[in-house]
Amino acid sequence: MKTNLLEVVMGAVVLIVCAFFVIFAYSTSQWQPTQGYEVLAKFDRIDGLMRGSDVRMSGVKVGTIKDIHLDPDTYLAVVHISLSPNVTLPKDSAAEIVSDGLLGGKFLALVPGGEDALIPAGGEILHTQAAVNLESLIGKFIFSAQEKKDEKPDEKPDEKPAEEGSTVKVNSDKKNSNQ
């Protein structure tokens, strides 16, 4: 009887700890049911962006990525964005995929435009900037640095070789040549 009571108490403790972790995870995740309205944007590439990623404007979270799919006609990635109801976007607004630091994840940044007309619910953000592929940029930098290293440096234009390997500076200044 003593072991059965101990097993029941340990089981209750495990359930209480599990409930605590579930409540803690829910309260810190900032998950909220989708409210507001939906717009969409089409991108060439969306590397690292996924369903549930943040949508930010001036660094403030204003929505989430609701869905991502491929348009079979244009082969563009279509991103469905759920925005907060108090956020309105002018028609000439832009959406760009940026990274949250060097090792952070990707999020969608909205840059509001200046036009008076607004994007309606279900409308499309026409100005988009795809994700920058950091690996290809680093590769281009490394190869361009290697090419510059392999090039032969040119002689300096204001040095002229003199007799027996010494150099004489030639002054090309007009003021000094008239003196």
| 75-109 confidence digits (pLDDT tens) | 999 999 999 999 999 999 999 998 887 777 889 99
- Domain enclosing residue 115, as ranges: 37-135
In a domain, residue 51? The reply is yes
The answer to whether residue 151 is domain-embedded is no
pLDDT of residue 138: 85
Contact 96, 68 (CB under 8 A): no
C-beta neighbour count of 36 within 10 angstroms: 16
Q: So what's the pLDDT on residue 177?
A: 46
Residue 115 in domain? yes
Q: Is residue 49 situated within a structural domain?
A: yes
Domain count across the chain: 1
Residue 95 lies in a domain: yes
Burial category of 2 from C-beta neighbours within 10 Å (exposed 0-12, middle 13-18, buried 19 and up): exposed
Contact status, residue 39 vs residue 89, Cβ threshold 8 Å = yes
Predicted confidence pLDDT, tens digits, the chain (179 residues): 566 888 888 899 999 999 998 888 877 765 655 578 999 999 998 988 999 899 999 999 999 999 999 999 999 999 999 999 999 999 999 999 988 877 778 899 999 999 999 999 999 999 998 887 777 778 888 888 777 777 756 555 555 555 555 555 555 454 444 44
pLDDT at 158: 56
Residue 89 counted as domain residue: yes
Closest CA relative to residue 62, chosen from 99, 101, 109, 106: 109
Residue 140 domain flag: no
Task: Flag whether the pTM goes above 0.85.
Answer: no
Distance CA 106, CA 65 (A): 11
